[in-house]
Protein backbone atom coordinates (compact mmCIF):
# COMPACT_ATOMS: atom_id res chain seq x y z
CA UNK A 1 0.00 0.00 0.00
CA UNK A 2 2.86 2.37 0.84
CA UNK A 3 4.36 1.55 -2.55
CA UNK A 4 1.15 2.52 -4.31
CA UNK A 5 0.88 5.87 -2.49
CA UNK A 6 4.55 6.66 -3.17
CA UNK A 7 4.17 5.76 -6.84
CA UNK A 8 1.10 7.96 -7.08
CA UNK A 9 3.01 10.91 -5.59
CA UNK A 10 5.86 10.32 -8.06
CA UNK A 11 3.39 10.32 -10.98
CA UNK A 12 2.00 13.63 -9.72
CA UNK A 13 5.52 15.09 -9.53
CA UNK A 14 6.40 13.86 -13.04
CA UNK A 15 3.18 15.36 -14.41
CA UNK A 16 4.13 18.69 -12.82
CA UNK A 17 7.66 18.46 -14.32
CA UNK A 18 6.36 17.63 -17.80
CA UNK A 19 4.01 20.62 -17.76
CA UNK A 20 6.64 22.92 -16.23
CA UNK A 21 3.93 24.49 -14.09
CA UNK A 22 4.83 24.44 -10.41
CA UNK A 23 1.57 24.76 -8.60
CA UNK A 24 -0.88 22.77 -6.56
CA UNK A 25 -3.50 22.47 -9.31
CA UNK A 26 -1.18 20.73 -11.79
CA UNK A 27 0.03 18.39 -9.07
CA UNK A 28 -3.54 17.49 -8.11
CA UNK A 29 -4.42 16.73 -11.75
CA UNK A 30 -1.31 14.54 -12.04
CA UNK A 31 -2.16 12.81 -8.77
CA UNK A 32 -5.69 12.02 -9.98
CA UNK A 33 -4.41 10.68 -13.31
CA UNK A 34 -1.85 8.60 -11.43
CA UNK A 35 -4.54 7.10 -9.21
CA UNK A 36 -6.50 6.12 -12.34
CA UNK A 37 -3.37 4.37 -13.69
CA UNK A 38 -2.79 2.55 -10.43
CA UNK A 39 -6.43 1.53 -10.29
CA UNK A 40 -6.20 0.14 -13.84
CA UNK A 41 -2.98 -1.75 -13.03
CA UNK A 42 -4.11 -2.88 -9.58
CA UNK A 43 -3.76 -6.62 -10.24
CA UNK A 44 0.02 -6.24 -10.66
CA UNK A 45 0.45 -4.89 -7.12
CA UNK A 46 0.79 -7.20 -4.13
CA UNK A 47 -1.93 -5.59 -1.99
CA UNK A 48 -5.43 -4.35 -2.87
CA UNK A 49 -5.95 -0.86 -4.36
CA UNK A 50 -5.32 1.78 -1.68
CA UNK A 51 -8.42 3.78 -2.63
CA UNK A 52 -10.50 1.08 -0.94
CA UNK A 53 -8.74 1.83 2.34
CA UNK A 54 -9.40 5.55 1.97
CA UNK A 55 -13.05 4.78 1.28
CA UNK A 56 -13.29 2.69 4.45
CA UNK A 57 -11.67 5.53 6.45
CA UNK A 58 -14.31 7.94 5.09
CA UNK A 59 -17.05 5.47 6.04
CA UNK A 60 -15.66 5.25 9.59
CA UNK A 61 -15.62 9.05 9.88
CA UNK A 62 -19.24 9.35 8.68
CA UNK A 63 -20.38 6.65 11.11
CA UNK A 64 -18.51 8.39 13.92
CA UNK A 65 -20.05 11.80 13.24
CA UNK A 66 -23.57 10.38 13.09
CA UNK A 67 -23.03 8.66 16.45
CA UNK A 68 -21.58 11.85 17.95
CA UNK A 69 -24.64 13.91 17.01
CA UNK A 70 -26.96 11.21 18.36
CA UNK A 71 -25.07 10.95 21.63
CA UNK A 72 -25.01 14.71 22.21
CA UNK A 73 -28.75 14.92 21.68
CA UNK A 74 -29.32 12.04 24.11
CA UNK A 75 -27.06 13.54 26.80
CA UNK A 76 -28.75 16.93 26.46
CA UNK A 77 -32.15 15.26 26.63
CA UNK A 78 -31.13 13.63 29.90
CA UNK A 79 -29.68 16.83 31.35
CA UNK A 80 -32.59 19.11 30.55
CA UNK A 81 -35.22 16.75 31.94
CA UNK A 82 -36.87 18.49 34.91
CA UNK A 83 -36.38 15.47 37.18
CA UNK A 84 -33.04 13.75 36.74
CA UNK A 85 -33.86 10.09 36.30
CA UNK A 86 -30.73 8.12 35.43
CA UNK A 87 -29.21 4.92 36.73
CA UNK A 88 -25.52 4.94 35.87
CA UNK A 89 -23.43 1.80 36.12
CA UNK A 90 -20.33 -0.03 35.00
CA UNK A 91 -20.50 -3.10 32.81
CA UNK A 92 -17.99 -5.07 30.81
CA UNK A 93 -17.85 -5.70 27.10
CA UNK A 94 -15.63 -8.10 25.24
CA UNK A 95 -13.77 -6.93 22.19
CA UNK A 96 -12.26 -8.98 19.41
CA UNK A 97 -9.67 -6.33 18.55
CA UNK A 98 -6.09 -7.28 19.36
CA UNK A 99 -3.42 -4.68 18.67
CA UNK A 100 -2.87 -1.53 20.75
CA UNK A 101 -3.74 0.85 17.93
CA UNK A 102 -7.07 -0.80 17.22
CA UNK A 103 -8.04 -0.71 20.90
CA UNK A 104 -7.02 2.96 21.18
CA UNK A 105 -9.21 3.83 18.20
CA UNK A 106 -12.17 1.90 19.60
CA UNK A 107 -11.75 3.58 23.00
CA UNK A 108 -11.64 7.04 21.48
CA UNK A 109 -14.69 6.37 19.34
CA UNK A 110 -16.67 4.84 22.20
CA UNK A 111 -15.92 7.84 24.42
CA UNK A 112 -17.90 9.99 22.01
CA UNK A 113 -20.89 7.70 21.43
CA UNK A 114 -24.27 7.57 23.20
CA UNK A 115 -24.00 7.28 26.97
CA UNK A 116 -20.71 5.44 27.17
CA UNK A 117 -17.24 6.20 28.49
CA UNK A 118 -14.49 3.62 28.72
CA UNK A 119 -13.27 3.26 32.30
CA UNK A 120 -10.65 0.54 32.24
CA UNK A 121 -9.14 -1.80 29.65
CA UNK A 122 -7.70 -5.27 30.15
CA UNK A 123 -6.07 -5.96 26.78
CA UNK A 124 -4.84 -9.45 27.67
CA UNK A 125 -8.36 -10.72 28.20
CA UNK A 126 -9.82 -8.41 25.55
CA UNK A 127 -12.26 -6.90 28.04
CA UNK A 128 -13.33 -3.28 28.38
CA UNK A 129 -15.15 -1.83 31.38
CA UNK A 130 -17.60 0.82 30.26
CA UNK A 131 -19.41 3.39 32.34
CA UNK A 132 -22.91 3.91 31.00
CA UNK A 133 -24.99 6.94 31.80
CA UNK A 134 -28.22 4.97 31.98
CA UNK A 135 -27.86 1.22 32.20
CA UNK A 136 -31.41 0.28 31.26
CA UNK A 137 -31.51 2.48 28.20
CA UNK A 138 -28.01 2.23 26.77
CA UNK A 139 -26.64 -1.21 27.51
CA UNK A 140 -27.82 -2.83 24.29
CA UNK A 141 -27.29 0.20 22.08
CA UNK A 142 -23.68 0.51 23.29
CA UNK A 143 -23.00 -3.14 22.46
CA UNK A 144 -24.51 -2.57 19.02
CA UNK A 145 -22.47 0.53 18.21
CA UNK A 146 -19.37 -1.25 19.52
CA UNK A 147 -19.92 -4.01 16.95
CA UNK A 148 -20.38 -1.43 14.18
CA UNK A 149 -17.17 0.36 15.14
CA UNK A 150 -15.24 -2.91 15.44
CA UNK A 151 -16.16 -3.90 11.90
CA UNK A 152 -15.25 -0.48 10.52
CA UNK A 153 -11.91 -0.46 12.39
CA UNK A 154 -11.01 -3.94 11.18
CA UNK A 155 -11.74 -2.82 7.63
CA UNK A 156 -9.40 0.15 8.07
CA UNK A 157 -6.57 -1.49 9.97
CA UNK A 158 -6.25 -4.93 8.39
Partner 1 sequence: MNVNAIIEILIAVMVLAGTVLSLLSSLGFIRLPDVYTRAHAATKSVTLGILFILLGTFLYFWFVHGLISIRLLLGIVFVFLTAPVAGHLIIRSAYRSGVKLSDTSVKDELREDLKKATQLEKYHSREG
Residues lying near partner 1 in the complex (CB under 8 A) are found at 68-69, 71-72, 75-76, 79-80, 84, 86-92, 107-109, 111-112, 115, 117-120, 129, 131, 133, 135
In the complex, minimum distance from the CB of residue 39 to partner 1, in angstroms, rounded to a whole number: 28
Measured from the CB atom, the residue of 89 and 126 that comes closer to partner 1 is 89
Cα gap 34→23, rounded to integer Å:
17
Cα gap 143→3, rounded to integer Å:
37
118 Rama class: left (phi>0) / alpha (psi -120 to 50) / beta:
beta
In the complex, minimum distance from the CB of residue 134 to partner 1, in angstroms, rounded to a whole number: 9
Give yes or no for a contact between 100 and 123, defined as CB atoms under 8 angstroms apart.
yes
Measured from the CB atom, the residue of 120 and 147 that comes closer to partner 1 is 120
In the complex, minimum distance from the CB of residue 101 to partner 1, in angstroms, rounded to a whole number: 14
* Phi, psi at 133, each rounded to 5°: -70, -35
Measured from the CB atom, the residue of 14 and 90 that comes closer to partner 1 is 90
Amino acid sequence: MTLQILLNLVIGMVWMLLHDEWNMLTFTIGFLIGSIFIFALRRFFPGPFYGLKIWSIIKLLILFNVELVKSSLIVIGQITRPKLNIQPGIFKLETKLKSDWEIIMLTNLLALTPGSAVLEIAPQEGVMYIHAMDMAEFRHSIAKTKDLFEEAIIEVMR
